[in-house]
Amino acid sequence: MKSEVQPSTSGDYELSTTLPMMSTEINDSKTKPTISYEDSIVDSKEDYNINNPNPAETNKNRGFFGNFIDSFKPIELDELDENLTDLERANILASRAPLQRSLKNRHIQMIAIGGAIGTGLFVGSGTALHEGGPASLVICYSLIGTMIFCTVQALGELAVAFPVAGSFLSLNSRFIAPWWGFVIAYNYALQWVIVMPLELVAAALTINYWDDKINSAAWVSIFYFLIVFINIFGVKGYGEAEFIFSLIKVLAVIGFIILGIILNCGGGPVGGYIGGRYWHDPGAFNHGFKGLCGVFVTAAFSFSGTELVGLTSAETENPRKTLPSATKQVFWRITLFYLISLILVGLLVPYNDPRLLGSGSSDAAASPFVIAIRNAGISGLPSVMNAVILIAVLSVANSAVFACSRTIASLADQGYAPKIFGYIDRRGRPIVGVAISFLVGLLCYLAASPKHGVAFAWMMAISGLSSIFTWGSICFAHVRFRLALAKQGRNTDELTFKSMSGIYGSIWGASLNFLILIAQFWVSLFPTNKADAYNFFQNYLNAVVLVFFAFCFFVWKKFKIQLLTPLEDMDLDTGRRVEDWDLLKQEIAEEKAYIASRPFYYRVYKAWC
């Protein structure tokens, strides 16, 4: 063995010299052969540094502009063994992707807490309230909340064990099958590349709350170049922007919860005591069971973007310590920010309020949060809430560039897209993926067209179900990973973070995602008592897109594929940052002993935060 374990700057332990062709890894009392590949990974941090790939060349200070230009040059990586299979090659490329590990604990925590707080909560909840009533709102968001919690826990376990580029996108190919990894990755890229122009237009339309005289194209231009500016700074720019955006959103929701309690108890300027008045008149439910199913689907879409915390794993300083805490924050986001605020919305706004039927999903005037404040007769605060909605929209647009660019790079790493798509510059930016995001983002100028509503509705239909398929795939990949561990004679003792909901939580998550697809099929095909093909394809077109991607892969591989990768053949080692298992287990044991020595309240805090 020509290997030596050295501590990395992020606190993990990494192999610093070339691995031999065949090595053995001791796990408990068993010795399991682990295939590694000579020259397939970088030799050391001195030979390979993403911030300084060629010290002799880049140590020269060429001034701000010269250094800025140099930062776009590619990082030179060693060629891989030509004898590797496609899947082995993809696993190695994902594990050694030269992305910057610039996201700190505070970035990840705030992305986890506020990342999914957007128009789905602030505006989409109004549509859900109108469709099903306040009781349906609470029931469906609670059910979806359990699914999201289980999904993020499964994602956390996989992302901590394999903090590789592409995260769950590359792990789908490894733990399910390459064809499914191809389908989900392309579908996920399609989702986010379309979301960016949609959100920029939504931001411009949000301005209409104050002034509808200025052409939307002017505001679109301002917001477009703001997002470009943020992403010039790579993942650090994304992290800092999301930290600020999420902090504002979190403070706004907490402020609304406090205000909502006061208003419900009669503390507002007008209206007096409200209590549960609107649960009796007009009622707790609307449109019966179909209304409940409609809210079920809307609630699922409101949590879109929750999985982004897993996509950051390859660009996190210390994923072993940061990601477990971040995934636990999902519990608080669901209970505090979603359920409590939506309970108050259902108490403060009747489901038959005509203002809930806004002109679109970005109509701030249709936000039940804004309507509740207006009903209380409070001047000024509706504009503040509208500003928060604007920030939430820009946050989603910023996240769209991050998610789309990383997904495109992952597709190239897996051999599913041209190699140039995986181009990563010296600042760790997947620059081609970012460029594609901004190129498609120019569709935002359709906002100046009188037909922009129809165009964007069909664009959204192409990827509308993407999040549902993504979450179900994460849960299924986690189940397969656990089964593969058992099949290969290994156990969860080698995992530094285990899902709190375990394998049964992932089964529940996958099952609930399947039920969402059934509910969406029903409400899309039968929005009324008669079937409506136009409405069906506008809401279910993404399923057809998935079939198209699968067909393309089958033709590409001449239909010579495996529907599922055999459990005994799964690669459970490539991409693991930690090599010294004994040292790691000792570190974890010391952390547990320290927590056990602390008071009860501290132990409870560490269990859930």
Question: How many Å separate Cα 13 from the centre of its chain?
Answer: 27
| Residue 34 in this model has a pLDDT that exceeds 60 | no
Give Cα separations from 255 to 154, 248, 381, 384, 547 (angstroms).
Answer: 32, 10, 11, 11, 45
Q: Identify which has the larger pLDDT, 423 or 225.
A: 225
**Ordered DSSP codes for 239-273:** HHHHHHHHHHHHHHHHHHHHHHHHHHTT-SSSS--
Instruction: Show me where the domains of the chain are located.
Output: 1-60, 84-578, 583-609
- Range from 292-296, 523-527, 576-580 carrying the lowest mean pLDDT: 576-580
* 247's tokens: 């902090």
pLDDT at 360 over 60: no
- Those residues with Cβ within 8 angstroms of residue 10's Cβ, 6 or more apart along the chain or in another chain: 101, 317, 318
Higher pLDDT among residues 322 and 161, named by residue: 161
Phi/psi-derived region of residue 428, left when phi > 0, alpha when psi is between -120 and 50, beta in every other case? left
In this prediction, residue 97 has a pLDDT band, given cuts at 50, 70 and 90, of low
CA distance 514 to 369: 31
Please give the pLDDT value at position 88: 61
pLDDT at residue number 381: 87
| Mean pLDDT value of segment 390-402 | 88
Closest-CA residue to 168 (of 432, 394, 471): 471
SS3 158: helix
The verdict on whether omega for the bond into residue 282 sits within 30 degrees of 0, i.e. cis, is: yes
Longest dimension (CA), the chain: 77
Q: What is the mean pLDDT of the chain?
A: 79
At the topology level, CATH places domain 84-578 in: Amino acid/polyamine transporter I (1.20.1740)
Which of 29-38, 56-65, 67-76, 103-112 shows the lowest per-residue confidence on average (mean pLDDT)? 29-38
Q: Per-residue pLDDT tens for 158-180?
A: 988 888 766 788 889 899 999 99
* pLDDT band at 282; cut points 50, 70, 90: very high
